[in-house]
Amino acid sequence: MARDFVFVSESVTEGHPDKLCDQVSDAIVDRLLAADPLARVSAECALARGVVFLAVRYAAAASVDLAELTRRVIAEVGYDSGDFNAADCSVMTSITALDPAERYPADEQHLSDAALDALTAREQVTVFGYACQDTPVLMPMPLYLAHRLARRLALLRLGRQLPWLSPDGKTQVAVRYRDGRPAGIHSITLQAGCLPAAPPLAEVRDILLRQAVQPVLAQEGLALEEPARLFVNPEAGLPPAPGGPAVHAGLTGRKGAVDTYGEFARHGGGALSGKDPGRIDRSGAYAARHAAKALVAAGLAARCEVMLSYSIGLARPVSVQVDSFGSGVVADDTLAQALQDTLDLRVGAIVRRFNLRHLSARRGGFFRRLAVYGQVGRTDLGLPWEQLHEAADVRRAAGVS
């Protein structure tokens, strides 16, 4: 990538159809894991105007009323009236309830280190983690600001300051980089769903500038470049509309870039939502972020990408690679070895280290809340893969005093 460039990332609010699907899928994961931490779960959701389709495959010592749970999530997100609403939508299901004997064989928290070698990957997976010095949470600035703005839109709606906002919204932030570092906010676009009671579009623009954009930028000590490029619902000639599933369809796992690094770095090809934590494509993505963040927090690189590759039948990754993009204080191979010497990257060890099987019961609705505003780089959920306890150990392992 060039040293001077403009980069754009987007985020979406809870009512975006794709994110609504992610929340339904993860609500199913939460419900089953809370009842049975050893459950295997795969939950896919698709929805459109008036219809929701669930494809769920699970093995658990528990059962779930999927239709009731789905309607509850839809209502809580804000779709309780209109062309798509929780009460009237049709919920169709394809459920495969496996024999409970096919659950995971043991809780990793109770296994010895040697026993973890028997817990192997069931999928071939390559996952990526990324961290950089752009922001206090070591995430790329375009996505960081897009998430902040999306959450601000939701807060204004839920707090009733702007009750005419609908649950569906999108934010885009373009950041200007010079010499590889953020240098200014090139432009911001808000796609805000508006209910019929909304004021005229020109007034909507002014309100969102004052109540959404300016507060977020002020908190970060930033400002739009001049001339200010702020776009609100920019489709020429189209009246404000509520958006949502009545307008465009949704599908679990379609917002992978929003979940991870806003396309600033690579991410694995699989969805994160709708999968139990024993799936290495989900837990491995968290482990890769944890590793990348440790390297940057330890001062070993200004930015870096960590790649972990797993093969079916093996417990450990077959490849651990680090790319520091020339910013590392030691060679990338040394950084990769330091990670392997410090962090246990076996499938079962990741689940144990992050306590992934028990988060749903101990922090009610944990994975559903994780399904919106990013699955990495968060400060609001106390994510175990965002903790930095191992950073000093990684630095020592790299031979840096």
Q: Is the pLDDT of residue 236 over 60?
A: no
Say what the pLDDT of residue 269 is. 84
Give the type of residue at 314: L
% of the chain residues with pLDDT over 70? 99
Measured over the CA atoms of residue 384, residue 387, residue 388 and residue 389, the dihedral's sign is negative
Q: Please count the residues of the chain.
A: 401
* Mean pLDDT, the chain, integer: 95
Say what the pLDDT of residue 58 is. 97
Say what the pLDDT of residue 235 is. 76
Domain 125-133+255-270+277-397 falls in which CATH fold? GMP Synthetase; Chain A, domain 3 (3.30.300)
Model pLDDT for residues 32-79, shown as the tens digit of each residue: 999 999 999 999 999 999 999 999 999 999 989 999 999 999 999 999
Model pLDDT for residues 189-200, shown as the tens digit of each residue: 999 999 999 999
Over residues 106-115, the mean pLDDT reads 94
Q: Is the pLDDT of residue 237 over 70?
A: no
- 115 compared with 2, residue with greater pLDDT: 115
Cα separation, 381 vs 314, in Å, equals 31
Domain 17-103 falls in which CATH fold? GMP Synthetase; Chain A, domain 3 (3.30.300)
Residue 171: strand pairing partners? 11, 190
**360: part of which helix (H) or strand (E)?**
helix 359-362
Query: What global pTM score does this model have?
Result: 0.96
% of the chain residues with pLDDT over 90? 93
**5-10+141-244 and 17-103: identical CATH topology:** yes
Q: Which CATH number fits domain 5-10+141-244: 3.40.50.620, 3.30.300.10, 3.40.309.10, 1.10.150.20?
A: 3.30.300.10
Over residues 275-293, the mean pLDDT reads 97
Domain boundaries of the chain, sorted by first residue: 5-10+141-244, 17-103, 125-133+255-270+277-397
